[in-house]
Amino acid sequence: MYILTISLVLILALIAMRISSDLKIPQLLLFMLLGVSFNFFGADFTNYNFSNQVSSIALMFIIFYGGFGTKWKMSKPVAKEAITLSFLGTVLTALITGLFVYLVFDFSLLEAMLLGSIVGSTDYASVSDVLVSRRLKLRYNTDSLLELESGSNDPTAYTMVVLFSTLLQGKNVNVPVLIILQVGIGLLLGFALGWVFIRILDYLNTRENMEVILLAAAALFTYEFTNQIGGNGYLAVYIFGIYIGNKEFVGKREVVFFFDSFTNLAQIGLFFLLGLLSDPSSIIAMLPIALVIMLFMTFIARPASVYGLMAPFKLNKNQLPVIAFAGLRGAAAIAFAISVVNSDTPFLNDLYHIVFDICLLSSLIQGGYLPTLSKKMDMVDPEDASLRNFNSLQDKSDVGFLATKIEADSDLVNSYIRDITMAFDFIIAKVLRHGETIVPNGDVQLKVGDVIVLAGRSYFDVVGTDLLEFRINSHHNWVNKQIKNIRLERDSLIVLVLRGDNELIVPNGDTTILDQDTVLVLEASNAK
């Protein structure tokens, strides 16, 4: 029954994504409502322990991939502003909101601060959903600022949640030490484990598309190991994601495709779980309180933090209202709320359903109106320009690049680019000379040792043509023979020779097959 239910949820979620696109409403809102709807069909799910484990892992992968997708060259111009908002902005928004809740509603001070901390961070999944689904490219690198802020502020909110939960439980806690351990260990292990695992990735060099498994395991290890020694696992895994994501490695495209889908699945699961755990009557009962808090955060707490902290940076006057309004609440608040309910933290009010309603209203109001506000403030970039590099272009497109080195006996030595006729549909994308990039205009003359990078459309074998791979040993009848002297079947061709750890040889008739070479032979379908 569980398998049937899960498959039905995923199918309905995909339909909801299409409806969201047609109606131009945030898809995460529909995922929440989908979860709520199951309550009307007799679902009675209240397993907060299981939900806490699932939501923590889902949020961990969302945060990891948020860091992995952060291109530092694009984010660097707005890094100071984004980091200021992700730390000080989150703290101020949470404290201002908590103080408001304490003064207006029947909350103790610590419980009010806990609620403010739970909903204090801007949610990466929600912001990214709006920007991507509505194809919003904002002026002045504002979209990069929002993505960097929303991707990095959850650890700050989590530290505050841990702090106020601990105080509510009546435990003795040294606040400065707790904050230093959470932030210091998180930062240190994020960078250190990133450095370690990128070298493990290079060392393994599996050629078997195992990079996804390694990075998934590495992210889990980074998160849990950091938590176990008292650090902030979410901060560590975000830094780990940034470090790994800004390195280039074989199989990166497969990693991007996998985590694109997996994080979408995690978001569906998180928002559906939030709806499933809710009680429709409690949703309605807590709606007035949540509406007041959400409006206060949207129009007072968040703008006060943004305008106050951004004053020294002298941002464009049209930019500030969009940044202030973009403080959407979502996945992180869900995971934190479930974690608090599952803990031994005592509280008098229905925090869970208040958080649910705040996320629901934020997704509906802020997520729905953000594109309109961006257009009214003339913040939408009509040129839709973005910074890319060769590897990021390959990450999600069918563009492929090939590299070949100009040897001393090559006919291309001393040739000009303008005189080279490409026999196939390729273009010379760049020339590397002594580690430096040369733009390949017609007047560039090729030298011995130059590396030419060719660009063209990559190929995926939908037919499933097989490559026969085998290792040559000292007794094989091909060993120490040139390919032109090897008798092959009529419809077979040696297409590649792998030698040692890293050497890849494009074979010709004079290539000699050596002991321990790995040979790839293409066989035509009718040859089988």
Q: Give residue-wise pLDDT tens across range 280-338.
A: 888 899 999 999 999 999 999 999 999 999 999 888 888 999 999 988 887 788 888 88
Q: How confident is the model at residue 463 (pLDDT cuts 50, 70, 90)?
A: very low
Cβ-based neighbours of 189, under 8 Å, separated by 6 or more: 222, 225, 226, 231, 236, 240
Give the model's pLDDT for residue 462. Answer: 45
Q: Cα separation of 487 and 233, whole Å? A: 58
Give the model's pLDDT for residue 109. Answer: 93
**What pTM was estimated for this model as a whole?**
0.69
Both structure tokens of 472: 């040559």
Q: How confident is the model at residue 394 (pLDDT cuts 50, 70, 90)?
A: low
Q: How far is CA 312 from CA 81, 91, 181, 372, in A?
A: 10, 18, 29, 28
Pairing mode, strands 467-471 and 503-505: unpaired
Q: Give residue-wise pLDDT tens across range 213-236.
A: 889 999 999 999 999 998 888 889
**DSSP element (H, E) containing 263:** helix 252-277
Strands (E), 298-411: 399-405
The residue written with tokens 């939908």 in the block is 462
Query: Measuring CA to CA, which residue among 396, 387, 363, 368 is closest to residue 143?
Result: 387
Is the C-alpha dihedral spanning 506, 508, 510, 515 positive or negative?
positive
Cβ-based neighbours of 34, under 8 Å, separated by 6 or more: 9, 12, 13, 16, 272, 275
Pairing mode, strands 512-513 and 467-471: unpaired
Tally of CB atoms within 10 A around 249: 14
Q: Cα separation of 164 and 119, whole Å? A: 13
Q: Give residue-wise pLDDT tens across range 282-295.
A: 889 999 999 999 99
Both structure tokens of 456: 């063209």
Q: How far is CA 300 from CA 93, 303, 321, in A?
A: 9, 5, 12
For residue 252, pLDDT over 80 is answered with no
Give the model's pLDDT for residue 506. Answer: 82
Both structure tokens of 360: 């629901």
CB contact burial 441-454 (16+ within 10 A = b; e otherwise):
eeebebeeebebbb
The residue written with tokens 């806690």 in the block is 173
Q: Which domains does the chain have, with CATH numbers?
A: 1-40+48-379 (1.20.1530.20), 393-457 (3.30.70.1450), 467-523 (3.30.70.1450)
Give the model's pLDDT for residue 2. Answer: 63
Give the model's pLDDT for residue 389. Answer: 45
